[in-house]
Amino acid sequence: MARTLILSDLHLGLPEVPCGRPARTPDSLAPLLNNCDHLVLNGDIADVHNVHRRENGMALLDQLLGMIGRAGILLTRVNGNHDFDASQKNFVDLYGGVVFVTHGHAFGASMLPWTPAHRVVRETLRAARARNDKTLEGDLAAAGEAAMAQWSEARSHNEPTALISIGLNPWRVARVLAWWRTFPREAARYAERFRPEAQIVVCGHSHRAGIWSIASAQSAAPKRVLNTGGFTFPSSPHAVVIDDDARELLVQMRAIRARRGRYELAAESPVSCWRIQRPAASSR
């Protein structure tokens, strides 16, 4: 049985917050890769676009990629807004399109509505969408352009850590809460537009882990939106685990727990587990 593991929002290089969690290092993350055949890193794996975090983030990322390579695990890297690279993928369709994976920064009209760079990011995204092809590839390329616009803003590099800057500003707290409320619907709407055949949408970006079932206008079955959250405090990290036995897919949302200084998958939960008939023509 082949196993695919999907993780997002490691933010390697971001300073640790004293909260009792292990530091995010290749060694502490290694237990998550046990029995993994295919690893999908779904964006914001390292803070490579922040000038103050790039060196440390890149060093940790290189170590992580080396560990994955030595383990013989197939790796797919998907762009996020903190680590956009034109040479990487912006999305991946798994199992004949049953599962659609993308970071989530392209959902809606603005990817960072609470940040100092909000206006320049929003306007860059709007202009790029107007120029680009009205396809998934074109839209995600526009999101990549907008993501890079954030890092051209000096305030993005000089503001305090996200947790402190949000906590000290009630307006930002309200914006984050409102965005969290709409984000799952935006994810389902995005998939409805570009990947209507997808049954499962896997994303990150918002740092709010959860499972949502959103009614579909194009099919009787709802779209399930699985957000893997994030590894940075106070986010709650999760993983999507997909086991494929060539007849059906077992899709699980698994919490990630800290134990003895390392991260590991929590036990399976029946309420976050789905069996889906595997399309006969799909590839592993």
Q: What is the pLDDT of residues 152-204, one digit of tens each?
A: 765 554 454 455 555 556 777 788 889 999 999 999 999 999 999 999 999 99
Strand 223-227 to 200-203 pairing: parallel
Residue listed under structure tokens 């889906």: 276
Query: If we measure between CA atoms, which residue out of 32, 38, 136 comes closest to residue 94?
Result: 38
Topology of the domain covering 2-277 = Purple Acid Phosphatase; chain A, domain 2 (3.60.21)
Q: What is the pLDDT of residues 219-249, one digit of tens each?
A: 778 999 999 999 988 889 999 999 998 789 9
Strand 273-277 to 248-259 pairing: antiparallel
Give backbone dihedrals phi and psi of 66, rounded to 5 degrees, phi first: -65, -40
Distance CA 123, CA 175 (A): 18
Distance CA 201, CA 121 (A): 24
